[in-house]
Structure 1
Amino acid sequence: MKRFKVTIQYDGVNFYGFQRQIDLRTVQGEIEKVLFRIFKNEVTLHASGRTDAGVHATGQVIHFDVETNMDEKALKRAMNTYLPKDIHVVETALVTSEFHARFSSIKKEYRYFINTGGYEVFSRNHVYQFNRELDIEKIKEASKLFIGKHNFYNFCTNEEGSVKDYIRTIESIEVNVNEGIIEFIIIGDGFLRNMIRMMIGALLEIGLNRKDKEYISRKLGDDFTRSNYKVPGLGLYLTRVYY
């Protein structure tokens, strides 16, 4: 039995998220169909984490076990031959049975892109078309409040009891601006459902001068009422998983 670690990229536009769902097109479902075609047996894959509908990835990591004489290079060729054009294998590697795509990861990097300039029809599914001016300096200053170990209950949509706890550590947040496109780079040890989208939603409210940075301080503190602001999934990318 071999265990393969596979790094993939996908365009999330036409998927109902990563996780397999009955009668819906998902990233996991499409990959497992291809693995069945290659190995003539059902193969269950495990991912570093799920992404929601419309969310993209350039560095998602999966693993699976299979009985085969195929090596890493042959596997990459075979998968890319049969995968649809919106999923692509970037890298394959043989790993030991101790490796797990989810539980072996130590941190992840996500990026989010926002267009504050004029509407761009061709990037509308990959960059959030916010199309309004923002106070970037206020956003940068407020974003620093997320760095560190916090209770992110107010910045997620996980149901009560669905996770062990809401404590997560944000290692860094970088905010870059280039020709009207804002790029957020967020690295953390783990992320709750919609956590990044709600964090950025709050930052946009601050950038519009509709909230002050104390809003984030309160939501990370003792005010246990969830934030009302969330950006769409289409601007979000899982870019790297660290092991």
Structure 2
Amino acid sequence: MRYKAVVAYDGTDYNGWQKQINGIGIQTVIEKALEKMLGHACEAVASGRTDGGVHALGQVFHFDSEKKMKGERMKTALNSLLPGTIRIQSIEPVSDQFHARFDAVSKRYDYLVGDCGNNPFAVRFMAPVREKLDVLKMQECAQVLVGTHDFTSFTSAKIDQRKSRVRTIDAILICEEKNGIRMIFEGDGFLRYQVRMMAGTLLEVGKGKLTKADVEVMLEGKDKHLCRYKAEAQGLYLVRVDYEKDDCREAILRFLMEELQERDIRKWWGHKR
């Protein structure tokens, strides 16, 4: 039987999702716990990798087992074997054809920045930025990146040259919150470092160091060397992975983006939808 699991984790102390030779990957920790619970080895196949230090609220993975258990019981048992920094949110049986990576149709990442000041806890979960950022200018420039584009300039040079770098960004929203700024990225998928490089670029826009024209040159140039900005890992969260298109949410996102171009609605937006 195949199971779909949703997991949240604090990525600070891990070398990313994937199993590592010279470090601890979250995948390794989960697979060891699964083996103890199920009595046999199995692979945890995720919707995609997250980098070292990156967090997740809604990472999805699947695994196979001949052992049948109710999802809630399995969740409780697995959490009892996992460290407190990795928490299973749900487990449910799915079709044998379900694939956590290849069936995903949309992902949401959030990037948090703010002045951490003297707060010793914020530095693990928010990227420190002390400058006053021009949020409206950031939102304006973010729209350059929305749509279907070749994001070669905003990704790692290590990606196989045979793989497409074309991705569709459905929405980028820049929102002021009580303790900082939240950047929301929604799209059909993201290349390695893409969100962090887009976030880093938009932060430079907010600081007044880049213009809309600069962002357009980076995107249209399709050259890895054109973008030198990559935001720090601890501000990034994989919030949600979707496996069915939600037309209602897509309509809401389009409405919000149009409104952001017309007037300042930053105050009432917030981080929950």
Q: TM-score range by the shorter chain?
A: over 0.9
One-letter code aligned to 1:71: K
> Structure 1 unaligned runs (5+)?
none
Q: State the distance in 2 between where 1:107 and 1:50 align.
A: 15
Displacement after TM superposition at 1:25 (Å) = 1.5
8 Å contact kept, 2:62–2:99: yes
Q: State the distance in 2 between where 1:158 and 1:226 align.
A: 12
One-letter code aligned to 1:97: D
One-letter code aligned to 1:229: Y
Displacement after TM superposition at 1:163 (Å) = 5.5
Q: State the distance in 2 between where 1:142 and 1:23 align.
A: 39
Tell me what 1:171 maps to: 170
SS at match of 2:100: coil
- Equivalent residues in 2 for 1:57-76, closer than 5 Å: 57-76=56-75
Q: State the distance in 1 between where 2:118 and 2:137 align.
A: 23
Tell me what 2:154 maps to: 155
Q: Which has the higher helix share?
A: 2
Tell me if 1:218 matches 2:217: yes
> Structure 2 unaligned runs (5+)?
244-273
Tell me what 1:209 maps to: 208
8 Å contact kept, 1:128–1:235: yes
Cα 1:113–1:168 change in 2 (3 A) is same
Tell me what 1:122 maps to: 121
More deviation, 65-74/105-114:
65-74
SS at match of 1:131: coil
Cα 1:162–1:93 change in 2 (3 A) is farther
SS at match of 2:143: helix
SS at match of 1:98: coil
More deviation, 94-103/157-166:
157-166
Aligned residues: CA RMSD:
1.4
Displacement after TM superposition at 1:159 (Å) = 2.0
SS at match of 2:35: helix
TM-score, normalised on structure 2?
Answer: 0.85
Displacement after TM superposition at 1:71 (Å) = 2.1
Q: State the distance in 2 between where 1:180 and 1:160 align.
A: 35
One-letter code aligned to 2:149: H
Tell me what 1:230 maps to: 230
Q: State the distance in 2 between where 1:49 and 1:158 align.
A: 18
SS at match of 1:112: strand
8 Å contact kept, 2:45–2:101: yes
SS at match of 2:48: coil
Q: State the distance in 2 between where 1:117 and 1:54 align.
A: 17
Cα 1:135–1:117 change in 2 (3 A) is farther
Displacement after TM superposition at 1:172 (Å) = 0.4
One-letter code aligned to 1:226: L
Q: State the distance in 2 between where 1:5 and 1:20 align.
A: 19
Residue by residue over 1:85-118, the C-alpha shift from the partner in whole angstroms, topping out at 9 and shown as x without a partner, is 1000101110001110000000100000000474
Q: State the distance in 2 between where 1:25 and 1:152 align.
A: 30
SS at match of 1:187: strand
Cα 1:50–1:163 change in 2 (3 A) is farther
Q: State the distance in 1 between where 2:134 and 2:162 align.
A: 35
8 Å contact kept, 2:125–2:234: yes
SS at match of 1:121: coil
Cα 1:160–1:13 change in 2 (3 A) is closer
Q: Which has the higher strand share?
A: 1
Q: State the distance in 2 between where 1:120 and 1:132 align.
A: 17
Tell me what 2:253 maps to: none
The share of aligned pairs that are identical, in percent, is 37
Tell me what 1:85 maps to: 84
One-letter code aligned to 2:232: P
Tell me what 1:183 maps to: 182
TM-score, normalised on structure 1?
Answer: 0.95
Q: State the distance in 1 between where 2:119 and 2:139 align.
A: 25
Residue by residue over 1:6-64, the C-alpha shift from the partner in whole angstroms, topping out at 9 and shown as x without a partner, is 00000001101000112521110000010111122111110000000000000000001
Cα 1:76–1:187 change in 2 (3 A) is same
8 Å contact kept, 2:150–2:222: no
Tell me what 2:42 maps to: 43
